[in-house]
């Protein structure tokens, strides 16, 4: 065993209630809540505190660390942003600590481990988190998506400009057009078209309900 000093990412004495206070509001913005089985939640968070003492951070208790920090960051709880599409498909995170807000009984999802496939609506943020006339980048599985708001309408398109691969979400909105930040190419967020040949980008279906914005993507085969 290594004698290297563990670099703690949380203060000594961190408790289960501390983790709830830190994780809950963040998960809420992503469309999730703690499992309705309170005893299960406490058990999982207690396990994370044990992992914290050993490793310095709250890694997911049901995933094995690889030793590669760039990979292991994807399993630091709450890991929802790194696995949005998979979790939305099964309505929970791997261990079931977090469940989608519309799930009434989280205990019914215990043991759900099937590999998801098909189209799935993925919650990306709350309606209030994106003001009208703004655009932002969201990573949804393997997809880099730019979500734009025009008035009360939301649209999603590929984040990468087909001209020189600039991130469209770093640009700005002009009505229904996303303006590329590098060279000013204009993309219609309603259908992904631009006035340059062979340069249109993909769009994704968007829905809004219960105060959250959902982007539909395909997962699995």
pLDDT above 70 for 7: yes
The pLDDT-based confidence of 220 (bands split at 50, 70, 90) is confident
Instruction: Please compute the mean of the pLDDT values over residues 13-18 and round it to a whole number.
Output: 97
Q: What's the whole-number mean pLDDT along residues 2-11?
A: 74
Copy the structure tokens of residue 181.
């930040």
Residue 145: its pLDDT value, please? 98
- Checking if the pLDDT of 2 tops 60, the result is no
pLDDT, mean over the chain: 94
Mean pLDDT for the stretch of residues 8-26: 95
Residue 85, SS3 per DSSP: helix
Asked whether the predicted pLDDT for residue 147 surpasses 50, the reply is yes
Please report, in angstroms and rounded to a whole number, the separation of the first and last CA atoms in the chain: 41
Q: How many whole angstroms separate alpha carbon 119 and alpha carbon 83?
A: 15
Residue-level pLDDT at 221: 65
Record the tokens describing residue 25, joined without a space: 């509001």
168 class by beta-carbon count within 10 Å (0-12 exposed, 13-18 middle, 19+ buried): buried
Tell me if residue 130 falls in helix, strand or coil.
coil
pTM: 0.90
In this structure, the number of other CB atoms found within 10 A of the CB of residue 15 comes to 11
Domains of the chain: 16-113 (3.90.460.10), 123-219 (2.102.10.10)
Structure tokens at 56: 């310095």
The pLDDT assigned to 1 comes to: 43
Strand partners, 104: none
Q: Which residue has the higher pLDDT, 89 or 117?
A: 89
What's the pLDDT tens digit per position in 74-102? Answer: 999 999 999 999 999 999 999 999 999 99
């Amino acid at each position: 065993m290594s004698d290297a000093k563990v670099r703690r990412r949380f203060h000594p004495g961190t408790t289960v209630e501390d983790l709830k206070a830190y994780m809950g509001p963040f998960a809420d913005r992503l469309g999730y809540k703690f499992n309705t089985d309170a005893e299960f939640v406490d058990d999982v968070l207690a396990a994370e505190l044990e992992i914290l003492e050993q490793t310095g951070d709250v890694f997911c208790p049901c995933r094995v660390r690889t030793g590669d920090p760039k990979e292991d960051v994807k399993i630091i709880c709450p890991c929802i942003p790194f696995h949005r599409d998979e979790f939305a498909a099964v309505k929970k995170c791997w261990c079931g600590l977090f469940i989608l807000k519309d799930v009434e009984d989280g205990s019914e999802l215990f043991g759900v481990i099937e590999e998801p496939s098909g189209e799935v609506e993925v919650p990306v943020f709350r309606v209030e988190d994106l003001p009208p006339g703004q655009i932002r980048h969201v990573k949804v599985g393997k997809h880099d998506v730019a979500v734009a708001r025009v008035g009360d309408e939301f649209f999603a398109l590929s984040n990468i400009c087909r001209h020189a691969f600039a991130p469209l979400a770093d640009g700005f909105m002009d009505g229904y057009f996303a303006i590329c930040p590098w060279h000013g190419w204009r993309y219609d967020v309603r259908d992904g078209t631009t006035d340059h040949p062979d340069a249109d980008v993909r769009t994704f279906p968007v829905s809004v309900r219960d105060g959250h914005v959902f982007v539909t993507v395909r997962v699995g085969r």
